[in-house]
Amino acid sequence: MTDKKHRHDEPGRRHGARGAQEAPADVAAAETAEVAAEPAETDGAEEEAARLAAERDEYLDHLRRLQAEFENYRKRVRRESDELRLRAGEDVVESLLPVVDNMDRALEAAAKHEEGQLIAGLQLVSGQLNDALAAHGLAEVPTAVGDPFDPTVHEAVMTQPSDDHDEGVVLQVLERGYLLHGRLLRPAKVVVAR
């Protein structure tokens, strides 16, 4: 019985020994399979890197195009702004041409010594000039003798003592002030009581 048992065990042992010997072969086959799989993974990584590089290049190209478009837009806006400024100047000059014409007529009348016509001509020119400038947004800063001095619209050229007016009151308007579209273009130059 013992012999049978040993014989029975021996084939198991042999089988176990053969199984143990076959295990390294299986491991080698598995490693070979992994090595074979690595190039596929490397190919996948290379494809991913190539895809990312192409995507990066596409974004970079898009960014460069946007930058060029923005630079062109900025140049166009600057050019249009300059043209608009020139056109605005043309409009003002054109509106003043009738004033120049009437000033020439007034000077012709002065040469003939017709004082009545000279005064009427100058009044006409002054009215036309004021109307033309008002049409372009010019308005006079309302300033009169006796008004309180306002440093936001007045420029005190000098101060004088006054018996008739309180301190800080406009005594004389030397040069009228003007607003252009509601913004101060030039302050009124005044003499102020001290």
Tell me the C-alpha distance between 25 and 16, whole Å. Answer: 15
The confidence score (pLDDT) of residue 34 equals: 54
The confidence score (pLDDT) of residue 16 equals: 47
The confidence score (pLDDT) of residue 65 equals: 95
pLDDT tens for the chain, 194 residues: list them.
445 544 444 444 444 444 444 455 565 555 555 555 455 567 788 999 999 999 999 999 999 999 999 999 999 999 999 888 877 777 777 777 777 777 777 777 777 776 777 777 788 888 888 888 888 888 889 999 999 999 999 999 999 998 888 899 999 999 889 888 888 988 999 999 98
DSSP state of 169: B
8 A C-beta contact, residue 173 and residue 145:
yes
Edge-to-edge order in the sheet of strand 183-186: 138-140, 178-180, 183-186
Edge-to-edge order in the sheet of strand 170-175: 154-160, 188-193, 170-175
> Crossing angle of helices 115-135/2-111, nearest 10°?
170
> Residue with structure tokens 């007016």?
165
8 A C-beta contact, residue 170 and residue 190:
yes
pTM assigned to the model: 0.50
Maximum CA extent, the chain: 163
Domains delineated in the chain: 139-194 (2.30.22.10)
8 A C-beta contact, residue 74 and residue 81:
no
Token digits of residue 141: 């800063």
Tell me the C-alpha distance between 48 and 50, whole Å. Answer: 5
> Residue with structure tokens 């130059």?
189
8 A C-beta contact, residue 169 and residue 131:
no
